[in-house]
Amino acid sequence: VSYRSRALEPDKFDNLVKHFNEQHHQQLFKEEIQRHKRKFSMAQQTFLQVKRTCAFKQKSFEGTLADLDPQNSGTIRRPLAIQILKQEARINQSKAEQVLLVLDPASLGILESAVFIQAMTDPDIGLSDL
């Protein structure tokens, strides 16, 4: 039997390569989904930890917001929310970003001020309420 007769026909070879690529992409996609799930789960845990330190600090949050945003437009942009979290919860940039991942999962970059403050300071609001 010669090498030529054992070789795959071009269309069979193309199908094999296509199948391998599809399997590889599916595996990469599954791994990426798992990474995102782990990241979000960690963010949720961080949110709950930070929330415990911020419970009942509504007046303090409102005061910090008033100091940092005197016009009080009713909305908070991501950098301002991070600054407030860092100041009020005494956390670093990374933890503040994790908290915002939970509060703004679509990464719109803007939150309603009242919702942000209530989510962080009201002990009766949990993950299921967000």
Q: What is the pLDDT of residues 49-78, one digit of tens each?
A: 999 989 889 999 999 999 998 887 889 999
Backbone angles phi, psi at 71, to 5 degrees: -70, -25
Indicate the pLDDT class of residue 1, thresholds 50, 70 and 90: very low
Across the range 24-45, mean pLDDT stands at 93
How confident is the model at residue 130, as a pLDDT? 75
How confident is the model at residue 5, as a pLDDT? 52
CA–CA separation, 126 and 120 (whole Å): 9
Residues ≥6 apart with Cβ < 8 Å to 54: 61, 88, 89, 120, 121
pTM of the model: 0.72
125 pLDDT more than 90: no
